[in-house]
Amino acid sequence: MKVSKCRFGVLSDGTKVRLYTADNGAMSFSVTDYGCIITNISVPDKKGDRNDIVLGYSTFEGYLNDTKTYFGACIGRYANRIANAHFSLNGAEYSLDANDGTSCLHGGFKGYNRTVWKAKPIEGENEAGVRFTRTSPAGEQGFPGKLKLEIEYILTKANELIFRYKAAAKEDTVVSLTNHSYYNLAGEGSGDILSHKLRLNASKYLPVDARLIPTGKQLEVEKSAFDFRSAKTIGCDIKKAGGYDHCFCIEQNRKEYAKGAASGLYFCAEAEDEKSGRKMSVYTDCPGVQFYSGNFLDVPAGKNGMPYTKYAGFCLETERYPDSPNRPEFPSALVKAGETYESVTVHIFNA
């Protein structure tokens, strides 16, 4: 399998931005070295017709000027929200960018989604993709510790899209990396995702306050609008929930392990659009997944000038729990000096 490369845009300082595309003959994806942003995932429906199933823009300028949606982007140093843009570590206090009210969201004003990464195509008999690398210096976004980052996005012949993350820490720090693609399995720009069926492997979720910061509790989903243990439409209880923008606690059991690239990972989620027949299954080693139903989407012109309004796409962001640096009762997000953070998430597509 091969990777094609083309020019995507130019930054004001003259830095050239490239777009890379991997195609296995059945499906394809494209990603740019600006923010490791996935710009396209084209998947066949039950008739064999391909459609792009991720929201985004037709031009580089769209991504460059967008400071709200994080369409398709790599998120770091810390995915999701950190309360009061502040945390303490080893007795030292760290102040972060307050870019979401009083909170730090997705790393701050200049997260990993707004930097150019070094890119190297990966080509093999059964897979193709891109390896991205960069160094995040100590103090970037206010976070302690230098990080050496390596991220791979890989497509296999089995229609598996693999996300691999590594972050080697020079000093003690906190890390949580994810991808922020918005999916609409009927095809981007085709309407809302309320009729999509969703199943989540989670018996608990993290309730949030008015700032969308976890309260620290882990509530049972049973008999609530947050119960997706059996598949139901996203719109079924969305009014009761007030929209979904919550972290679900993944059940780390061995009952639903997959084969292939997802072997050894925990089942996370399964989404399906019955009209097109497209199905996406997600496996990960992360403790949590942020299910976001696109509550705040208001994009006048997405791809091909199509507007994206409320519920036009959904996100499944595999991650460590939000605000974990301030919540000792949550699984730790600490990466000690000399250690390497590693995480893998696999999306499997079929129709």
- Is-contact 196 187, C-beta < 8 A? no
pLDDT single digits (tens) 298-324: 999 999 999 999 999 999 999 999 999
Query: Is the pLDDT reported for residue 254 higher than 90?
Result: no
User: Rounded to the nearest 5°, which phi and psi values hold at 20?
Assistant: -115, 140
Contact present, 154 and 127 (Cβ < 8 Å)? yes
Residue whose tokens read 């392990």: 257
Q: Label residue 60 by pLDDT band (50, 70, 90).
A: very high
241: enclosing H helix or E strand: helix 238-241
CA trace torsion 208, 210, 215, 218 (10° rounding)? -20
Task: Supply the DSSP symbol for 36.
Answer: T
Q: Is 180 a catalytic residue?
A: yes
| Per-residue model confidence (pLDDT) at position 256 | 56
The answer to whether residue 188 scores a pLDDT higher than 70 is yes
Would you give the DSSP letter of residue 236?
S
Among 106, 140, 152, 180, which one carries the catalytic annotation? Answer: 180
**Confidence class for position 252, pLDDT limits 50, 70, 90:** confident
Q: Quote the radius of gyration of the chain (alpha carbons, Å).
A: 19
Q: Of the residues 272, 317, 319, 347, which is catalytic?
A: 317
107-121 pLDDT tens trace: 999 999 999 999 999
**In the chain, pLDDT over 90 holds for what percent of residues?**
96
Q: 225-242: per-residue pLDDT in tens?
A: 999 999 999 999 999 999
Q: Is 319 a catalytic residue?
A: no
Query: Could you tell me the two tokens for 328?
Result: 């000792």
Check: pTM over 0.75? Answer yes or no: yes
Of 61, 14, 7, the C-alpha closest to 32 is: 7
pLDDT of residue 125: 95
